[in-house]
């Protein structure tokens, strides 16, 4: 429903600069605004250069003004704008459905009374699911899995047998936890799969992105530590032990038996080889190729990755190569000319 700028200001405890009766019909970020929209301006360098488009008003930090545009000054621009977006586009809350008769639940499974199970979900034997958890359509939970309280598993995710999920964890659509690890030995000319006797253990308050895969351990668990957040399309191999509160971005690949400390950040498309350790609070930049252990609080860049400062110096030198090549050719020409002059001088002297 449309509302006035004054009503929006009341919603976010802001101060109006401009006509308080101005009608606001929606909220959109910079670059996609429509007539009647309010947008946000966070005073970053990017925002200063941005086109405010068709917006009629903006949320701004206190003390910031935009000539010719009505504003609402607030303490926290992003928190206020999120509240406004929710006002115009409230999140859809599905009605609780309990346990759908179209779900398949093994009689030996133990589900808390308020667990929701949506149509098409399959829950195997000896599974336990804690209070308040939601199992969406098409989820397949195999035998022996242990799922804590307030866990949400979105459509199409698969938990292989004996997977353990901590409380308040979120698993997004298409994720696969506990598939066989990629471990083979070549025996008599044939690749023979190694032991697949382990499982996956996910700590509390973890988030696992869509289509992410986490393989089971060979004999014990592959572990994801408490509070770690994993983006979409990440691959974590068998026997890895990911520490607490890591941030792992899209398309990262971590090979078998590697470990990380706490508060590690791994940016998009970085690759980590097997059997290495990433120290606490290390940062692996996008597309970094990690081939050795990384000390704590180190930022790594490049492939193969080196400490950020070393890699930047190498990159600067690389960019100078064309000019250095021209300088080298000029020096070669000069040396050739001097050599010819010297040879002629020798002949004259003779």
HSE of 142, CA atoms in CB hemisphere, 13 A = 13
Q: Please report, to the nearest 10 degrees, the dihedral formed by the alpha carbons of residues 231, 236, 240, 243 taken in order.
A: 0
Contacts of 229 (CB under 8 A, 6+ apart): 206, 207, 246, 247, 248
CB 156 within 8 A of CB 193: no
Rg of the chain, C-alpha, whole Å: 29
128 DSSP β-pair partners = 110, 146
9 DSSP β-pair partners = none
- Six token digits for residue 8: 């929006």
CB 126 within 8 A of CB 107: no
Q: Quote the CA–CA distance of 117 and 14 in Å, as a whole number.
A: 42
Q: Quote the CA–CA distance of 144 and 121 in Å, as a whole number.
A: 16
Residue in 83, 84, 82, 54 with CA at minimum distance from that of residue 69: 54
CB 158 within 8 A of CB 177: yes
Q: Which of 118, 172, 238, 245 is catalytic?
A: 238
Residue 275 falls in the annotated catalytic set = no
- Six token digits for residue 113: 């009374």
Catalytic center residues: 238
């Amino acid at each position: 429903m449309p509302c006035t700028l004054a009503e929006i200001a009341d919603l976010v405890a802001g101060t109006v600069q401009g006509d308080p009766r101005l009608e606001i019909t929606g909220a959109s970020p910079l670059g996609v605004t429509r007539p009647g929209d309010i947008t946000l301006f966070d005073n970053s360098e990017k925002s200063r250069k941005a086109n405010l488009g068709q917006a009629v008003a903006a949320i701004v930090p206190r003390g910031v003004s935009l000539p010719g545009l009505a504003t609402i000054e607030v303490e926290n621009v992003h928190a206020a704008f999120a509240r406004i977006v929710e006002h115009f586009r409230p999140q859809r809350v599905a009605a609780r459905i309990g346990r759908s008769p179209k779900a398949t639940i093994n009689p030996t499974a133990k589900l808390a009374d308020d667990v929701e199970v949506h149509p098409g979900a399959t829950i195997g034997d000896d599974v336990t699911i804690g209070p308040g958890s939601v199992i969406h359509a098409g989820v397949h939970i195999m035998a022996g899995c242990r799922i804590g309280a307030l866990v949400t598993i979105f459509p199409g995710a698969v938990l292989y047998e004996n997977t353990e999920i901590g409380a308040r964890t979120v698993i997004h659509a298409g994720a696969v936890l506990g598939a066989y690890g990629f471990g083979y030995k070549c025996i008599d000319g044939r690749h023979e799969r190694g032991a697949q006797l382990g499982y996956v253990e996910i700590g509390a308050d973890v988030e696992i992105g869509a289509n992410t895969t986490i393989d089971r351990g060979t004999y014990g668990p592959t572990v994801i530590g408490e509070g770690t957040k994993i983006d979409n399309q990440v691959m974590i191999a068998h026997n890895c032990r990911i520490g607490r509160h890591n941030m792992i971005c899209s398309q990262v690949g971590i090979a078998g038996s590697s470990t990380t400390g706490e508060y590690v950040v791994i940016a998009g498309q970085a690759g980590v080889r097997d059997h290495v350790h990433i120290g606490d609070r290390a940062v692996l930049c996008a597309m970094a190729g990690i081939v050795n252990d990384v000390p704590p609080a180190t930022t790594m860049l490049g492939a193969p990755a080196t400490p950020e400062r070393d890699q930047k110096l190498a990159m600067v030198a690389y960019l100078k190569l064309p000019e250095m090549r021209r300088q080298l050719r000029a020096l070669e020409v000069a040396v050739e000319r001097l050599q010819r002059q010297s040879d002629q001088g020798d002949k004259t002297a003779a």
